Structure 1
Amino acid sequence: MDFSAVVDDVSKSVVTILTKQITLDDFLQPSVAQGLGSGFSIGKGLIVTSYHVIGQASSSMIVTRDGFRGEAEIIAVNPFNDLALIKTDLDLKPLKLTDDVKVGQGVLAVGSPLGLDSTTFGIVSSVDRTIQSPIGSSLYVIQTDAAVNPGNSGGPLVNTKGEVVGVITAMIPYAQGIGFAIPSRLVMSFIENIKKNGRYVRPYIGVRIIKLNRAMAVYFNLPVDEGVIVIDVDPRSPAYQAGIRRGDVIYEINSKKVKSQLDIIAGIEEKGLDQVELGVYRGKNKLKMSIEPMELS
């Protein structure tokens, strides 16, 4: 397998991100902490990276493969999905985002681990893992055995055609062959959210859900075997006010089929505070429900 052409092409769009953060020590004396990460172009000077790379920085600079440097301006951050969008004056070729990702698919992790240009190859091990984010929220992630190292964070996880399937977010330091990436579907919804609102707004409807599988559908005698089951509803939430109840099966969102939690998360994110339309089964009764999300700060 020779992916040299793909790597060469993708690398033109990948940048190293150098950050500085001013902190105060126990004696209130300022000190500067330096950070390192990666990012990639999506066009018009816009760079996608991880929130934990850029979110707490006092200043940041991007460096291209050819050594060109430019200041980076933060446009929007989504700490709950560990995503950030920054802007630079440097003109870089954009990478294409795709949500077509499957277990067993070959992928390449591209970035600047430890300040060195690096690419590793592996496969997708899972498309629906949940891990804890740096701020303590739950992250919905792709798992891969492509080697991930410090400095890879924010870089693209691409398929063998050079399309971005995810944004590298974390590794497990005590295990080999376990790395994670935020699915491109969430990157797309993050960008759409910003376009709609001029900033990122965090929409909230107030449900806890789990993925429905065939065994559960048979056990509960449900009319569908794909979707998500509502396991809890905040009684003060928009979802409760709209009529969603525990045990409901959500099979559709915004006229799109629901296969997992990711479809719900992304479907709500991309709408921002606009109304969300759900298709729901309650027992064998088919319902349509409209929910207006509220903003969480």
Structure 2
Amino acid sequence: TFTPSRSYSQHIKSDMALLSSLTQPPAEYARGMASVLDSIIKIYTVHSRPNYTLPWQNHPKRESTGTGFVVHDRLILTNAHVVADATYVLVKRHGSGTKYRADVQAVGHDCDLALLSVADESFWTAPTAMQPLELGPVPELQQGVVVVGYPTGGDNTSVTSGVVSRVEVAQYAHAASHLMACQIDAAINPGNSGECCGAVLTRELWGWGLGAY
């Protein structure tokens, strides 16, 4: 039988410790994630799409959920397709069961972006004041990213991680426009984008962007 030498065993332990350190997020990264979760918002939308064949009536109402995050001036950034043809929009904070009425302030269908506002002061201040997240620059290839959102099937936030695998001009599904897009291998599911607007966080830059399913 082969008995590993003391130095060989030490090498194995050293390699295992290195592997563990690579797979565990740094402490400051974990603290940063905890601090931003309160700025991730779940969005509940009731849609009623126009009926262009019978313009005097709309299609039956349907419900969907999505994700958004707080930016400056007490606005919530999400995807346009999350609130497209919305008749009623509700939002709730991370860790809270209280829903608040939200208003759509602006929609850019070409770029699939929308801004929401909430008039109720308690939404922004209770139990703690929400902090706006800063938008980051276009990430680089193989840069680590984390997706935080509310995918369909649960009421709590979901966190997945991956890397940027491609950056190029691509066709957006919502309006068929061709704009800059980043492809990542982190899992994004319905509900992440504002049906999947999951916030994308780069570990180095701590900048946030918008994901879309």
Q: TM-score, normalised by structure 1?
A: 0.52
Distance (whole Å) between structure 2 residues aligned to residue 54 and residue 30 of structure 1: 16
Distance (whole Å) between structure 2 residues aligned to residue 76 and residue 54 of structure 1: 10
Matched, 1:127 2:153: no
Map of 1:166 onto structure 2: 209
Q: Deviations over 1:277-296 (max 9, x none)?
A: xxxxxxxxxxxxxxxxxxxx
- The counterpart of 2:114, out of the listed 67, 84, 106, is 84
Distance (whole Å) between structure 2 residues aligned to residue 59 and residue 139 of structure 1: 29
Distance (whole Å) between structure 2 residues aligned to residue 155 and residue 130 of structure 1: 19
Indicate the SS of the match to 1:134. coil
Matched, 1:65 2:94: yes
Distance (whole Å) between structure 2 residues aligned to residue 24 and residue 80 of structure 1: 19
Matched, 1:47 2:63: no
> Relative to 1, partners in 2 of residues 1:127 and 1:19: Cα closer, same or farther, differing over 3 Å?
same
Q: Deviations over 1:243-275 (max 9, x none)?
A: xxxxxxxxxxxxxxxxxxxxxxxxxxxxxxxxx
* Conserved? CA contact 2:188–2:212, under 8 Å: no
Matched, 1:112 2:150: yes
Q: RCO higher in 1 or 2 (8 Å CA, sep ≥ 6)?
A: 2
* Conserved? CA contact 1:20–1:32, under 8 Å: yes
* Conserved? CA contact 1:95–1:163, under 8 Å: no
Matches within 5 A, 1:15-30: 15-22=41-48
In the comparison of the two structures, how many residue pairs are matched? 170
Map of 1:149 onto structure 2: 189
Q: CA deviation at 1:136?
A: 2.0
Amino acid of the residue matched to residue 61 of structure 2?
Answer: V
Distance (whole Å) between structure 2 residues aligned to residue 132 and residue 142 of structure 1: 11
- The counterpart of 1:7, out of the listed 33, 44, 65, is 33
Equivalent pairs: percent with the same residue? Answer: 29
Q: CA deviation at 1:137?
A: 1.8
* Conserved? CA contact 1:20–1:33, under 8 Å: yes
Map of 1:295 onto structure 2: none
Q: CA deviation at 1:126?
A: 1.6
Amino acid of the residue matched to residue 73 of structure 2?
Answer: K
Amino acid of the residue matched to residue 15 of structure 1?
Answer: I
Indicate the SS of the match to 1:44. helix
Q: Higher strand fraction: Structure 1 or Structure 2?
A: 1
Indicate the SS of the match to 1:113. coil
Q: Which runs of 4+ in 1 moved over 6 A?
A: 24-27
Q: CA deviation at 1:23?
A: 5.0
> Relative to 1, partners in 2 of residues 1:144 and 1:101: Cα closer, same or farther, differing over 3 Å?
same
Distance (whole Å) between structure 1 residues aligned to residue 49 and residue 79 of structure 2: 21
Q: Deviations over 1:61-113 (max 9, x none)?
A: 11111213221111111110101111113222111111151111100001000
Amino acid of the residue matched to residue 76 of structure 1?
Answer: A
Amino acid of the residue matched to residue 30 of structure 2?
Answer: S
Distance (whole Å) between structure 1 residues aligned to residue 100 and residue 204 of structure 2: 28
Amino acid of the residue matched to residue 137 of structure 1?
Answer: S
Unaligned runs of 5+ in 2: 1-23, 125-129
Task: Name the Cα RMSD after superposition.
Answer: 2.3
